[in-house]
Amino acid sequence: MEFGRGRDAVTMQGSEHNDAWGPEGTPLGEDADGALGGMSTGAPLRIRVHFKPPSSIALPQTTLHVPSGEMRELQIGGRHDPVLAPRAAPVVEAVCRLVIADLLQMREEI
């Protein structure tokens, strides 16, 4: 899960990613991604979520056969990974709530 620019921020200079507070207590730009110094700017948070592809696929794959110590080809029939789509939204929402609650707790607001 990435908040704001996430991993894209690693290629930016500090001057590109930083945002200054304006005289009215609001950021002057949109570079801070909704938070400055751990405090909300009041702007919407931008969140990007990534999911790994399922590992049980129907294509042959090379894997270690532990009893023999040999590398062998394995082909799995059927799908054994749970379908993530119905679970994705509530899981992402729960993680976001935990992160926000943690930030509030660090500021001793809850």
Q: Is this prediction's pTM over 0.75?
A: no
Q: What is the pLDDT of residue 37?
A: 66
Strand duo 47-48 + 70-74: pairing: unpaired
Rounded CA gap, 22 and 28, in Å?
5
Query: If you average pLDDT over every residue of the chain, what do you get?
Result: 79
- Distances in whole angstroms, Cα of residue 68 to Cα of each of 1, 76, 88: 39, 20, 38
Q: What is the pLDDT of residue 69?
A: 94
What are 60-91's pLDDT values in tens digits? 999 999 999 999 999 888 767 667 778 888 98
